[in-house]
């Protein structure tokens, strides 16, 4: 029986999903290991009950070449390590590496909120801002594999938890200015703020409106310059679009071009499963 495996690696967790001709198995989630060797052992253990797969896809919170991760600020111990080779040796199957935002949009285009669209943009808004771009039905990865890194759009940056010292092995900033201005980390106690705004608290609604204006500048820039069929908001804020969506769309209309104002902004549909579903899709697709 042919089996494929998708692995979604995040800054705090790792998810594994297997698929056979009979369907998909149960999603397995665990806190991500804290070192490279421990991570290899962890994934091997999580896959121990899966029959030898025909292919494995691994999504990472950062950019990778074909063989190894290049820039993964959340898990810097992955950078430069021969991840594909090491995982192929342990799992006995071909392995593909990809940016998690690309895999999220791939899944949304196949099974979620962008299904049927030939062009779409994902803004994954959580502790940072990443994303992806779908052009003519295919994910545009870019020459270095980092297309859709919307967090690097220019923006005025308020006081933010991401404004701390630069860290990591790269030269220059680790976080882009739009990410520092409008990521979930720029909110003060985001879940409580959303709950208060839903309850009609005036101060919470005003704070949410100010945040929506910051986020809308980037959304408007993407809508105006790319003119996609749809823009999806994914990541942690996807679940807040019931209360965030109206002020966000209102501010997008302020900042976007005439055609950009017509681009619908919707929540991603697959939630936290999107990345691992996308990893599964590249595991069983010949062309990626």
Residue 111 belongs to some domain of the structure = no
Residue 186 belongs to some domain of the structure = yes
Give CA–CA dist 194/237, Å, rounded. 10
Q: How many CB atoms lie under 10 A from the CB of residue 58?
A: 27
| DSSP 3-state of 52 | coil
Q: Comparing C-alpha atoms, which of 272, 242, 215 is closest to residue 11?
A: 272
Contact 185, 161 (CB under 8 A): yes
Q: Are residues 98 and 229 in the same domain?
A: no
Q: Compute the Cα dihedral for 180, 185, 188, 194 and give only its sign.
A: positive
Contact 46, 14 (CB under 8 A): yes
Complete DSSP assignment for 239-260: GGHHHHHHHHHHHHHHHS-TTG
Residue 87 belongs to some domain of the structure = yes
Give pLDDT tens digits for 47-95.
998 888 999 999 999 999 999 999 998 899 999 999 999 999 999 999 9
Give pLDDT tens digits for 95-123.
999 999 999 999 999 999 999 999 999 99
Q: Are residues 13 and 134 in the same domain?
A: no
Give CA–CA dist 213/219, Å, rounded. 10
Q: Comparing C-alpha atoms, which of 116, 111, 114 is closest to residue 132?
A: 114
The CATH number of the domain holding residue 200 is 3.30.420.40
Q: Compute the Cα dihedral for 99, 231, 220, 241 and give only its sign.
A: negative
Using alpha carbons, list the distances in angstroms from residue 113 to 33, 108, 189, 269.
32, 6, 28, 5
Q: Are residues 222 and 178 in the same domain?
A: yes
Q: Are residues 12 and 50 in the same domain?
A: yes
Q: Inform me whether the pLDDT recorded for 232 exceeds 80.
A: yes
Its domain, for residue 95, covers: 4-102+272-283
Give CA–CA dist 113/270, Å, rounded. 8
Give CA–CA dist 188/30, Å, rounded. 27
Q: Which two tokens stand for residue 91?
A: 């799992």
Residue 108 belongs to some domain of the structure = no
The residue whose two tokens read 């190894």 is: 68
Residue 125 belongs to some domain of the structure = yes
Q: Comparing C-alpha atoms, which of 33, 56, 52, 44 is closest to residue 103?
A: 56
278 Cβ contact list (under 8 Å, min separation 6): 6, 8, 57, 59, 98, 100, 102, 103, 104, 105, 106, 107
Share of the chain above pLDDT 70, in %: 94
Give CA–CA dist 173/166, Å, rounded. 6
Residue 110 belongs to some domain of the structure = no
pLDDT bracket for residue 166 (50, 70, 90): very low
pLDDT bracket for residue 262 (50, 70, 90): very high
Q: Comparing C-alpha atoms, which of 47, 135, 57 is closest to residue 98?
A: 57
In the prediction, which pLDDT does 198 show? Answer: 96
Q: Are residues 122 and 200 in the same domain?
A: yes
Q: Inform me whether the pLDDT recorded for 169 exceeds 80.
A: no
Q: Are residues 248 and 133 in the same domain?
A: yes
Q: Are residues 255 and 209 in the same domain?
A: yes
Residue 237 belongs to some domain of the structure = yes
Q: Are residues 93 and 20 in the same domain?
A: yes
Q: Are residues 137 and 233 in the same domain?
A: yes
Contact 79, 64 (CB under 8 A): no
Q: Are residues 31 and 127 in the same domain?
A: no
Count of structural domains, the chain:
2
Q: Are residues 66 and 186 in the same domain?
A: no
In the prediction, which pLDDT does 149 show? Answer: 94
Q: Which two tokens stand for residue 41?
A: 């052992």
Residue 180 belongs to some domain of the structure = yes
Q: Are residues 130 and 77 in the same domain?
A: no
Give CA–CA dist 114/108, Å, rounded. 5
């Amino acid at each position: 029986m042919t089996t494929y495996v998708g692995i979604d690696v995040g800054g705090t967790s790792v998810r594994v999903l297997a698929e056979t001709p009979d369907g998909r198995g149960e999603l397995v989630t665990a806190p991500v290991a804290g070192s490279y060797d421990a991570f290899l052992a962890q994934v091997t253990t999580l896959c121990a009950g899966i029959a030898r797969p025909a292919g494995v896809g691994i999504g990472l919170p950062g950019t990778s070449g074909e063989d190894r991760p290049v820039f993964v600020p959340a898990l810097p111990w992955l950078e430069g390590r021969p991840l594909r080779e090491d995982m192929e040796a342990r799992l006995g199957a071909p392995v593909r590496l990809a940016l998690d935002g690309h895999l999220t949009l791939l899944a949304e285009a196949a099974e979620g909120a962008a299904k049927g669209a030939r062009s779409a943009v994902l803004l994954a808004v959580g502790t940072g801002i990443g994303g992806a771009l779908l052009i003519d039905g295919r994910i545009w990865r870019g020459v270095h594999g980092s297309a859709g890194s919307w967090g690097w759009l220019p923006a005025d940056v308020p006081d933010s938890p991401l404004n701390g010292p630069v860290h990591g092995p790269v030269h220059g900033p680790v976080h882009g200015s739009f990410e520092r201005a409008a990521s979930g980390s720029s909110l003060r106690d985001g879940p409580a703020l959303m709950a208060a705004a839903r309850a009609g608290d005036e101060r919470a609604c005003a704070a949410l409106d100010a945040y929506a204006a910051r986020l809308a500048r980037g959304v408007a820039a993407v809508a105006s310059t790319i003119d996609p069929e749809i823009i999806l908001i994914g990541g942690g804020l996807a679940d807040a679009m019931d209360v965030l969506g109206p002020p966000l769309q209102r501010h997008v209309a302020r900042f976007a071009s005439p055609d950009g104002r017509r681009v619908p902004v919707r929540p991603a549909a697959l939630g936290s499963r999107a990345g691992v579903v996308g990893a599964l899709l590249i595991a069983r697709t010949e062309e990626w």
